[in-house]
Structure 1
Amino acid sequence: MLIAKITESDFFGGEPQYIDDDARYNTRGVMTDGEGNIAMMKIEDSEYYKLPGGSIEITETPDKAFLREVTEETGYPAELLGYLGWIEEHKFKRKFCMVSHCYVAKKVSDKCDTAMLERSQERLGYKIEWMPYDEAVSRIKALSEQCKEYQMSFVLKREQLILEKAKEYIVK
């Protein structure tokens, strides 16, 4: 189920432009602790947050990739609670479309292993922060409203859509 198609027109106006010939596939989502808190990845030395997720390896299904990514980034093993759908980010300026399969998972243990971040994530200083669902939504929404950066505009819009879609799994 398609959640949304995000285009440059969402931020800069004009007619939506779509990329049909260069897609990259990703997996993203929300990990809860089962008590209404979710894992947010804080980008050090900035006010920005993102949800865990990343690329789908050639040998993986999107759900397996999400569980691998969420465990690598947070250090916690998780189980899937549900599939939310996918989001397309049509980045006309960059000439590609990012397709993100979106999930909700729950950590299955309080034992945290060391996060295994990619080099680019280490350079950005990713750190996990647990926060109540409503706080995560309000932070992402506020950041999205004031964001002027091209790439981060797409990220924040995507994260906001995922959080809204995941609400039924988090808020009891």
Structure 2
Amino acid sequence: MELLKELYERDLSLSGRDSTSRRHGNKFWFRRAVRAIIFNDKYEIALIHMSGDHYYKLPGGGIEAGETMEAALHREVLEELGTTVELTDEVGLIIEYRDEHELMQFSYCYIARMYSDQKNPELTEEEHAGGLSTGWVSLKEAIKIMEKNIPQTYVGKFIQERDLTFLKQLNR
């Protein structure tokens, strides 16, 4: 999968931070995750809003031990959207260096289409508490929404920049 970007604190203009990563992969906790740009029959994509932290994101999440990327994505989409999907293509990879959490995260993004009708999602307590809700918008509208939005949290800034990069890659 093509590496699209390495994302550092300096890329997000986080004030009071060093211009380079303090550890740059040394002593970082490593996490792999999957994301998807999911299209419905109207050619709209799923855009998740986390109202508690005021940011938008693509469906997806962490890959659990022993899980393939595809299995993790199917599980996450079922949990967050209550639907199944068919993967159709790759978008790319983004590596995030979140110094504050000593985290280096590899996020792999795919293109998918809804395969079944939506049912009730099976949200985690954290997702409920964060105010997770899903809307369906055009690709161009999703980009506009994310460009105008200003996340309020450290994590939200990384997530939104990462997922906006994925959306713009697909829109090229």
Structure 1 residues without counterparts, runs of 5 or longer: none
1:152 aligns with 2:146: no
- The Cα of 1:99 is off from its aligned counterpart by 1.1
What residue ranges of structure 2 are gaps of 5+ in the alignment?
none
Task: State percent identity of aligned pairs.
Answer: 27
Write the distance in 2 (CA, Å) between the matches of 1:96 and 1:10: 16
Relative to structure 1, the CA distance from residue 28 to residue 77 in structure 2 (aligned partners, 3 Å threshold; closer, same or farther) is same
Instruction: Give the distance between the partners of 2:167 and 2:85, measured in 1 at CA.
Output: 18
Match of 2:147 among 135, 138, 141: 141
Among 24, 47, 50, which residue is 2:31 paired with? 24
The number of residues matched between the two structures is 165
What is the distance in 2 between the residues matched to 1:79 and 1:62? 13
C-alpha RMSD of the superposition: 1.9
Query: How has the CA–CA distance of structure 1 residues 149 and 47 changed in structure 2, closer, same or farther, with 3 Å as cutoff?
Result: closer
Matches within 5 A, 1:6-155: 6-12=7-13, 15-17=19-21, 18-21=24-27, 22-44=29-51, 47-109=54-116, 111-143=117-149, 146-147=150-151, 149-155=153-159
Secondary structure at the aligned position of 1:59 is classed as coil
Alpha-carbon distance change, 20 to 66 in structure 1, aligned in 2, over 3 angstroms: farther
| TM-score normalised according to structure 1 size | 0.87
Q: Deviations over 1:70-124 (max 9, x none)?
A: 1221111110011222111101122111111111110012x22210111100111
The TM-score normalised by the length of structure 2 is: 0.87
1:161 matched residue in structure 2: 165
Counterpart residue type for residue 72 of structure 1? E
